[in-house]
Protein backbone atom coordinates (compact mmCIF):
# COMPACT_ATOMS: atom_id res chain seq x y z
CA UNK A 1 0.00 0.00 0.00
CA UNK A 2 1.53 3.25 -1.15
CA UNK A 3 0.81 6.12 1.19
CA UNK A 4 1.83 9.73 1.48
CA UNK A 5 2.72 11.01 4.84
CA UNK A 6 3.99 14.33 6.13
CA UNK A 7 6.42 14.84 8.97
CA UNK A 8 6.41 18.24 10.57
CA UNK A 9 9.29 19.65 12.55
CA UNK A 10 10.12 22.99 13.97
CA UNK A 11 13.17 24.65 12.46
CA UNK A 12 15.85 26.38 14.45
CA UNK A 13 17.20 28.84 11.89
CA UNK A 14 19.78 31.56 12.39
CA UNK A 15 19.02 35.15 11.45
CA UNK A 16 20.45 34.88 7.98
CA UNK A 17 18.34 31.82 7.30
CA UNK A 18 15.24 33.52 8.69
CA UNK A 19 15.66 36.38 6.26
CA UNK A 20 16.33 34.02 3.40
CA UNK A 21 13.23 31.95 4.21
CA UNK A 22 11.11 35.09 4.43
CA UNK A 23 12.38 36.00 0.95
CA UNK A 24 11.39 32.60 -0.35
CA UNK A 25 7.93 32.99 1.13
CA UNK A 26 7.70 36.45 -0.42
CA UNK A 27 8.69 35.18 -3.84
CA UNK A 28 6.25 32.30 -3.67
CA UNK A 29 3.48 34.72 -2.72
CA UNK A 30 4.51 37.10 -5.47
CA UNK A 31 4.51 34.34 -8.08
CA UNK A 32 1.07 33.19 -6.96
CA UNK A 33 -0.41 36.66 -7.06
CA UNK A 34 1.28 37.48 -10.34
CA UNK A 35 -0.05 34.27 -11.84
CA UNK A 36 -3.56 34.95 -10.60
CA UNK A 37 -3.53 38.50 -11.93
CA UNK A 38 -2.26 37.30 -15.30
CA UNK A 39 -4.98 34.68 -15.51
CA UNK A 40 -7.70 37.17 -14.72
CA UNK A 41 -6.31 39.60 -17.29
CA UNK A 42 -6.06 36.88 -19.92
CA UNK A 43 -9.59 35.75 -19.28
CA UNK A 44 -10.92 39.27 -19.66
CA UNK A 45 -8.97 40.34 -22.74
CA UNK A 46 -8.40 37.22 -24.81
CA UNK A 47 -10.76 34.87 -26.60
CA UNK A 48 -10.92 31.13 -27.25
CA UNK A 49 -8.08 28.93 -26.03
CA UNK A 50 -5.92 31.98 -25.37
CA UNK A 51 -8.05 32.76 -22.35
CA UNK A 52 -6.60 29.96 -20.30
CA UNK A 53 -3.13 29.09 -19.23
CA UNK A 54 -1.42 26.76 -16.79
CA UNK A 55 1.44 26.64 -14.35
CA UNK A 56 3.97 25.28 -16.83
CA UNK A 57 3.36 28.09 -19.33
CA UNK A 58 3.28 30.66 -16.60
CA UNK A 59 6.50 29.44 -15.04
CA UNK A 60 8.19 29.74 -18.43
CA UNK A 61 6.85 33.26 -18.81
CA UNK A 62 7.94 34.22 -15.32
CA UNK A 63 11.43 32.95 -16.03
CA UNK A 64 11.57 35.14 -19.13
CA UNK A 65 10.54 38.19 -17.11
CA UNK A 66 12.89 37.45 -14.23
CA UNK A 67 15.97 39.01 -15.79
CA UNK A 68 14.39 42.28 -16.85
CA UNK A 69 11.61 42.82 -14.36
CA UNK A 70 12.11 40.72 -11.25
CA UNK A 71 15.87 40.26 -10.80
CA UNK A 72 15.43 39.78 -7.06
CA UNK A 73 13.84 36.43 -7.77
CA UNK A 74 17.29 35.04 -8.48
CA UNK A 75 17.97 35.13 -4.77
CA UNK A 76 15.60 32.26 -4.10
CA UNK A 77 15.26 28.69 -5.26
CA UNK A 78 13.37 28.26 -8.52
CA UNK A 79 11.21 25.66 -6.83
CA UNK A 80 9.41 28.22 -4.68
CA UNK A 81 7.66 30.19 -7.49
CA UNK A 82 7.16 27.01 -9.49
CA UNK A 83 5.33 25.29 -6.65
CA UNK A 84 3.28 28.42 -6.02
CA UNK A 85 2.07 28.39 -9.62
CA UNK A 86 1.22 24.70 -9.28
CA UNK A 87 -0.84 25.60 -6.23
CA UNK A 88 -2.64 28.15 -8.37
CA UNK A 89 -3.49 25.39 -10.85
CA UNK A 90 -4.93 23.43 -7.95
CA UNK A 91 -6.93 26.41 -6.74
CA UNK A 92 -8.50 26.84 -10.18
CA UNK A 93 -9.20 23.12 -10.46
CA UNK A 94 -10.98 23.21 -7.12
CA UNK A 95 -12.93 26.27 -8.14
CA UNK A 96 -14.07 24.66 -11.39
CA UNK A 97 -14.94 21.40 -9.66
CA UNK A 98 -17.03 23.44 -7.23
CA UNK A 99 -18.89 25.05 -10.12
CA UNK A 100 -19.56 21.67 -11.68
CA UNK A 101 -20.94 19.85 -8.68
CA UNK A 102 -22.49 22.76 -6.85
CA UNK A 103 -20.26 22.83 -3.77
CA UNK A 104 -19.35 26.42 -3.33
CA UNK A 105 -15.60 26.73 -3.56
CA UNK A 106 -14.54 30.33 -3.92
CA UNK A 107 -12.54 31.90 -6.72
CA UNK A 108 -8.79 31.83 -5.93
CA UNK A 109 -7.85 34.68 -3.62
CA UNK A 110 -4.78 36.84 -3.61
CA UNK A 111 -2.31 35.95 -0.90
CA UNK A 112 -1.42 38.46 1.77
CA UNK A 113 1.80 39.22 3.51
CA UNK A 114 1.69 38.15 7.12
CA UNK A 115 -1.09 35.68 6.48
CA UNK A 116 0.41 33.43 3.83
CA UNK A 117 4.00 32.86 4.80
CA UNK A 118 4.96 29.56 3.29
CA UNK A 119 6.68 28.01 0.32
CA UNK A 120 7.31 24.55 -1.02
CA UNK A 121 10.59 23.20 -2.31
CA UNK A 122 11.31 20.15 -4.41
CA UNK A 123 14.58 18.80 -5.67
CA UNK A 124 17.38 17.49 -3.52
CA UNK A 125 16.27 17.47 0.11
CA UNK A 126 18.29 15.60 2.66
CA UNK A 127 17.73 15.04 6.32
CA UNK A 128 20.65 14.29 8.55
CA UNK A 129 20.64 14.12 12.31
CA UNK A 130 18.98 17.31 13.51
CA UNK A 131 19.51 19.12 10.20
CA UNK A 132 17.63 19.48 6.96
CA UNK A 133 19.31 20.47 3.73
CA UNK A 134 17.13 22.43 1.35
CA UNK A 135 17.87 23.83 -2.12
CA UNK A 136 19.41 27.32 -1.90
CA UNK A 137 18.75 27.57 1.84
CA UNK A 138 21.40 25.05 2.80
CA UNK A 139 21.48 23.23 6.09
CA UNK A 140 19.00 24.41 8.69
CA UNK A 141 18.94 23.09 12.20
CA UNK A 142 15.86 21.25 13.46
CA UNK A 143 14.57 21.44 17.02
CA UNK A 144 14.29 17.68 17.33
CA UNK A 145 15.88 14.62 15.78
CA UNK A 146 13.78 13.69 12.77
CA UNK A 147 12.54 10.13 12.33
CA UNK A 148 11.59 9.89 8.71
CA UNK A 149 10.53 6.79 6.82
CA UNK A 150 10.09 6.67 3.06
CA UNK A 151 11.25 8.66 0.07
CA UNK A 152 11.20 12.45 0.45
CA UNK A 153 9.12 14.16 -2.23
CA UNK A 154 9.09 17.78 -1.17
CA UNK A 155 9.26 20.07 1.80
CA UNK A 156 6.97 22.92 2.76
CA UNK A 157 8.41 25.61 4.97
CA UNK A 158 5.98 27.83 6.80
CA UNK A 159 5.89 30.47 9.48
CA UNK A 160 3.37 30.18 12.29
CA UNK A 161 3.27 32.63 15.18
CA UNK A 162 6.80 33.76 14.37
CA UNK A 163 8.21 30.24 14.39
CA UNK A 164 9.37 28.35 11.34
CA UNK A 165 8.30 24.81 10.52
CA UNK A 166 9.08 22.34 7.82
CA UNK A 167 6.64 19.73 6.67
CA UNK A 168 8.37 16.92 4.83
CA UNK A 169 6.17 14.96 2.47
CA UNK A 170 7.22 11.37 1.87
CA UNK A 171 6.05 8.45 -0.20
CA UNK A 172 6.00 5.26 1.76
CA UNK A 173 5.28 1.68 0.90
CA UNK A 174 3.57 -0.01 3.80
CA UNK A 175 2.41 -3.60 3.97
CA UNK A 176 -1.37 -3.80 3.64
CA UNK A 177 -2.91 -3.69 7.09
CA UNK A 178 -4.70 -6.73 8.43
CA UNK A 179 -8.40 -5.93 8.81
CA UNK A 180 -9.35 -4.91 12.31
CA UNK A 181 -11.57 -7.46 14.06
CA UNK A 182 -13.51 -5.15 16.27
CA UNK A 183 -17.11 -4.18 16.73
CA UNK A 184 -18.94 -1.79 14.44
CA UNK A 185 -19.43 1.61 15.90
CA UNK A 186 -21.57 4.62 15.14
CA UNK A 187 -20.17 8.00 16.08
CA UNK A 188 -22.16 11.14 16.52
CA UNK A 189 -20.29 14.37 16.97
CA UNK A 190 -22.23 16.44 19.39
CA UNK A 191 -22.30 19.88 20.80
CA UNK A 192 -22.39 19.02 24.48
CA UNK A 193 -19.95 16.17 23.92
CA UNK A 194 -17.07 15.99 21.51
CA UNK A 195 -18.38 12.63 20.39
CA UNK A 196 -20.66 9.90 21.56
CA UNK A 197 -20.21 6.30 20.45
CA UNK A 198 -23.03 3.87 19.89
CA UNK A 199 -21.71 1.69 22.73
CA UNK A 200 -22.42 4.59 25.06
CA UNK A 201 -18.90 5.94 25.51
CA UNK A 202 -18.93 9.69 25.83
CA UNK A 203 -16.02 11.88 24.95
CA UNK A 204 -15.86 15.11 26.85
CA UNK A 205 -15.73 18.17 24.78
CA UNK A 206 -12.84 20.21 26.00
CA UNK A 207 -14.17 23.22 24.25
CA UNK A 208 -10.73 24.68 24.10
CA UNK A 209 -12.00 27.39 21.93
CA UNK A 210 -14.75 28.46 24.28
CA UNK A 211 -12.51 28.56 27.32
CA UNK A 212 -9.88 30.61 25.56
CA UNK A 213 -12.33 32.86 23.84
CA UNK A 214 -12.11 35.53 26.50
CA UNK A 215 -8.37 35.67 26.26
CA UNK A 216 -8.68 35.73 22.51
CA UNK A 217 -10.99 38.71 22.67
CA UNK A 218 -8.65 40.50 25.00
CA UNK A 219 -5.69 39.97 22.72
CA UNK A 220 -7.57 41.02 19.60
CA UNK A 221 -8.61 44.17 21.40
CA UNK A 222 -5.02 44.84 22.27
CA UNK A 223 -4.07 44.51 18.61
CA UNK A 224 -6.70 46.93 17.44
CA UNK A 225 -5.70 49.50 20.06
CA UNK A 226 -2.09 49.66 18.94
CA UNK A 227 -1.08 52.17 16.31
CA UNK A 228 -0.92 50.80 12.81
CA UNK A 229 2.52 49.60 11.69
CA UNK A 230 4.04 50.19 15.13
CA UNK A 231 6.40 47.79 16.87
CA UNK A 232 3.88 47.32 19.66
CA UNK A 233 1.23 46.29 17.21
CA UNK A 234 3.59 43.78 15.66
CA UNK A 235 4.25 42.27 19.07
CA UNK A 236 0.54 42.14 19.87
CA UNK A 237 -0.16 40.43 16.56
CA UNK A 238 2.41 37.76 17.40
CA UNK A 239 0.87 37.24 20.85
CA UNK A 240 -2.52 36.76 19.25
CA UNK A 241 -1.15 34.40 16.63
CA UNK A 242 0.48 32.31 19.35
CA UNK A 243 -2.81 31.90 21.17
CA UNK A 244 -4.59 30.92 17.95
CA UNK A 245 -1.91 28.40 17.32
CA UNK A 246 -2.14 26.89 20.81
CA UNK A 247 -5.88 26.57 20.50
CA UNK A 248 -5.57 24.78 17.19
CA UNK A 249 -2.97 22.42 18.66
CA UNK A 250 -5.21 21.48 21.58
CA UNK A 251 -8.04 20.86 19.21
CA UNK A 252 -5.94 18.72 16.91
CA UNK A 253 -4.56 16.68 19.79
CA UNK A 254 -8.00 15.73 21.11
CA UNK A 255 -9.26 14.82 17.67
CA UNK A 256 -6.20 12.78 16.76
CA UNK A 257 -6.48 10.69 19.90
CA UNK A 258 -10.14 9.97 19.25
CA UNK A 259 -9.76 9.11 15.56
CA UNK A 260 -6.75 6.87 16.17
CA UNK A 261 -8.64 4.99 18.87
CA UNK A 262 -11.63 4.56 16.58
CA UNK A 263 -9.64 3.41 13.57
CA UNK A 264 -7.48 0.95 15.52
CA UNK A 265 -10.23 -0.78 17.47
CA UNK A 266 -13.27 -1.00 15.23
CA UNK A 267 -13.94 -2.88 12.03
CA UNK A 268 -16.40 -0.31 10.80
CA UNK A 269 -17.02 3.28 11.79
CA UNK A 270 -20.26 4.85 10.69
CA UNK A 271 -20.52 8.61 10.76
CA UNK A 272 -23.00 11.14 9.56
CA UNK A 273 -22.51 12.93 6.30
CA UNK A 274 -23.33 16.41 7.47
CA UNK A 275 -24.05 19.50 5.50
CA UNK A 276 -21.45 21.30 7.51
CA UNK A 277 -21.68 24.46 5.49
CA UNK A 278 -25.38 24.73 6.10
CA UNK A 279 -25.00 24.19 9.80
CA UNK A 280 -22.18 26.65 10.19
CA UNK A 281 -24.32 29.38 8.76
CA UNK A 282 -26.60 28.94 11.74
CA UNK A 283 -24.92 31.48 14.02
CA UNK A 284 -25.59 29.97 17.44
CA UNK A 285 -24.50 26.48 16.55
CA UNK A 286 -21.80 27.63 14.21
CA UNK A 287 -19.15 28.24 16.78
CA UNK A 288 -19.69 24.94 18.55
CA UNK A 289 -19.54 23.03 15.28
CA UNK A 290 -16.38 24.64 13.99
CA UNK A 291 -15.03 24.13 17.48
CA UNK A 292 -15.19 20.37 17.35
CA UNK A 293 -14.12 20.31 13.72
CA UNK A 294 -16.31 17.93 11.77
CA UNK A 295 -14.29 18.26 8.61
CA UNK A 296 -11.06 17.47 10.33
CA UNK A 297 -12.64 14.53 12.12
CA UNK A 298 -13.79 13.01 8.88
CA UNK A 299 -10.52 13.72 7.10
CA UNK A 300 -8.53 12.00 9.80
CA UNK A 301 -10.83 9.00 9.85
CA UNK A 302 -10.58 8.69 6.09
CA UNK A 303 -6.85 8.14 6.09
CA UNK A 304 -6.48 6.42 9.43
CA UNK A 305 -9.03 3.73 8.58
CA UNK A 306 -6.94 3.00 5.48
CA UNK A 307 -3.74 2.80 7.51
CA UNK A 308 -5.08 0.56 10.22
CA UNK A 309 -7.37 -1.65 8.18
CA UNK A 310 -10.78 -0.55 9.34
CA UNK A 311 -13.61 0.93 7.32
CA UNK A 312 -15.24 4.32 7.32
CA UNK A 313 -18.83 4.48 6.21
CA UNK A 314 -20.85 7.61 5.67
CA UNK A 315 -24.55 7.46 6.26
CA UNK A 316 -26.64 9.03 3.47
CA UNK A 317 -26.76 12.77 3.82
CA UNK A 318 -30.43 12.94 4.63
CA UNK A 319 -30.66 9.86 6.77
CA UNK A 320 -32.73 10.95 9.78
CA UNK A 321 -30.26 9.74 12.40
CA UNK A 322 -31.46 12.17 15.06
CA UNK A 323 -35.16 11.95 14.35
CA UNK A 324 -35.36 8.17 14.19
CA UNK A 325 -35.97 6.10 17.30
CA UNK A 326 -33.12 3.65 17.72
CA UNK A 327 -35.37 1.04 19.35
CA UNK A 328 -38.49 0.93 17.18
CA UNK A 329 -37.58 2.94 14.08
CA UNK A 330 -40.31 5.53 14.51
CA UNK A 331 -39.36 8.80 12.82
CA UNK A 332 -40.31 12.06 14.46
CA UNK A 333 -41.58 14.93 12.36
CA UNK A 334 -39.79 17.57 14.27
CA UNK A 335 -36.83 17.64 16.59
CA UNK A 336 -35.42 20.95 17.64
CA UNK A 337 -31.64 21.23 17.72
CA UNK A 338 -31.95 22.29 21.34
CA UNK A 339 -33.85 19.22 22.56
CA UNK A 340 -31.15 17.20 24.27
CA UNK A 341 -33.31 14.22 25.23
CA UNK A 342 -34.95 11.99 22.66
CA UNK A 343 -38.43 10.79 23.61
CA UNK A 344 -40.18 8.33 21.36
CA UNK A 345 -43.95 8.80 21.05
CA UNK A 346 -44.33 5.29 19.72
CA UNK A 347 -42.44 3.04 22.17
CA UNK A 348 -41.70 5.47 24.97
CA UNK A 349 -37.91 5.27 24.74
CA UNK A 350 -36.09 8.05 26.56
CA UNK A 351 -32.49 8.41 25.58
CA UNK A 352 -29.80 11.03 25.09
CA UNK A 353 -30.26 12.58 21.71
CA UNK A 354 -26.71 12.05 20.49
CA UNK A 355 -26.53 8.48 21.77
CA UNK A 356 -29.74 7.75 19.92
CA UNK A 357 -28.20 9.15 16.74
CA UNK A 358 -25.04 7.08 17.18
CA UNK A 359 -27.08 3.91 17.72
CA UNK A 360 -29.08 4.64 14.58
CA UNK A 361 -25.95 5.07 12.58
CA UNK A 362 -24.40 1.76 13.54
CA UNK A 363 -27.63 -0.21 13.33
CA UNK A 364 -28.35 0.88 9.82
CA UNK A 365 -25.49 -1.13 8.29
CA UNK A 366 -24.75 1.02 5.32
CA UNK A 367 -23.45 -0.06 1.99
CA UNK A 368 -19.72 0.16 2.21
CA UNK A 369 -18.17 2.46 -0.28
CA UNK A 370 -14.70 2.27 -1.68
CA UNK A 371 -13.46 5.68 -0.70
CA UNK A 372 -16.13 6.43 1.86
CA UNK A 373 -16.84 9.76 0.22
CA UNK A 374 -19.76 8.69 -1.87
CA UNK A 375 -23.23 9.04 -0.61
CA UNK A 376 -25.28 5.92 -0.58
CA UNK A 377 -28.93 5.12 -0.10
CA UNK A 378 -32.00 6.68 -1.53
CA UNK A 379 -32.94 9.30 1.02
CA UNK A 380 -34.27 12.42 -0.53
CA UNK A 381 -34.09 15.66 1.42
CA UNK A 382 -37.34 16.72 2.99
CA UNK A 383 -38.25 20.35 3.11
CA UNK A 384 -36.00 22.13 5.59
CA UNK A 385 -33.81 19.18 6.47
CA UNK A 386 -30.71 20.58 4.93
CA UNK A 387 -30.30 24.22 5.87
CA UNK A 388 -27.83 24.91 3.07
CA UNK A 389 -30.44 24.08 0.48
CA UNK A 390 -32.39 27.20 1.29
CA UNK A 391 -29.42 29.49 0.82
CA UNK A 392 -28.71 31.30 -2.39
CA UNK A 393 -25.83 29.63 -4.20
CA UNK A 394 -23.82 32.84 -4.52
CA UNK A 395 -22.84 33.13 -0.88
CA UNK A 396 -19.56 31.42 -0.31
CA UNK A 397 -19.76 29.38 2.84
CA UNK A 398 -16.47 28.90 4.56
CA UNK A 399 -15.28 27.82 7.93
CA UNK A 400 -13.95 31.27 8.71
CA UNK A 401 -17.36 32.84 8.46
CA UNK A 402 -18.38 31.46 11.83
CA UNK A 403 -15.26 32.14 13.82
Catalytic center residues: 188, 272, 354
CB of 363 to Zn ion, least distance (A): 13
Tell me the window of 225-233, 267-275, 279-287, 342-350 that interacts with Zn ion (CB under 5 A): 342-350
Nearer to Zn ion, 40 or 347 (CB): 347
Q: Which of 3, 347, 373, 382 binds Zn ion (CB under 5 A)?
A: 347
List, in order, residues 6 or more apart from 358 with CB less than 8 Å away: 185, 186, 187, 188, 196, 197, 198
* String marking each residue 348-367 x if it binds Zn ion according to CB under 5 A: -x------------------
Give the count of residues interacting with Zn ion (CB under 5 A).
Answer: 8
Question: Residue 52 and residue 40: Cα distance in Å, rounded?
Answer: 9
Nearer to Zn ion, 86 or 352 (CB): 352
CA 273 to each of CA 29, 318, 329, 388: distance values in angstroms, whole numbers, following the listed order: 35, 8, 20, 13
Nearer to Zn ion, 65 or 328 (CB): 328
Question: Residue 314 and residue 274: Cα distance in Å, rounded?
Answer: 9
CA 340 to each of CA 258, 282, 329, 343, 364: distance values in angstroms, whole numbers, following the listed order: 23, 18, 19, 10, 22
Question: Residue 55 and residue 78: Cα distance in Å, rounded?
Answer: 13
Nearer to Zn ion, 290 or 356 (CB): 356
Backbone angles phi, psi at 9, to 5 degrees: -130, 155
CB of 345 to Zn ion, least distance (A): 8
CB of 380 to Zn ion, least distance (A): 23
**238: contact with Zn ion by CB under 5 A:** no
Q: How many CB atoms lie within 10 A of CB 230?
A: 10
Nearer to Zn ion, 161 or 349 (CB): 349
> Of the candidates 31, 4, 19, which has an alpha carbon nearest to the alpha carbon of residue 140?
19
Residues in region 317-336 near Zn ion by CB under 5 A? 325, 327-328, 330
**344: contact with Zn ion by CB under 5 A:** yes
**103: contact with Zn ion by CB under 5 A:** no
**396: contact with Zn ion by CB under 5 A:** no
In the complex, the residues that contact Zn ion under the rule CB under 5 A are 325, 327-328, 330, 344, 346-347, 349
Amino acid sequence: MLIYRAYRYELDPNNRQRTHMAKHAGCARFAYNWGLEERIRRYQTKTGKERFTNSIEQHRELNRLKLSKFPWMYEVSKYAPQAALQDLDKAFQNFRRGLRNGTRIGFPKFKRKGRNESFRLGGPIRVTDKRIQLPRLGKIRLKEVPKILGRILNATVSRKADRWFVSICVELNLPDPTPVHGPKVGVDLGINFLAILSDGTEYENHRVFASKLRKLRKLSRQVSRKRNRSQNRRKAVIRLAKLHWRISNCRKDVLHKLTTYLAKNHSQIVIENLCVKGLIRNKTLGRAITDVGFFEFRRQLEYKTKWYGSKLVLAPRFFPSSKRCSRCGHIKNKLSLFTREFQCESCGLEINRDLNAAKNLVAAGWVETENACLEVGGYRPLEGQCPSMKQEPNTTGSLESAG
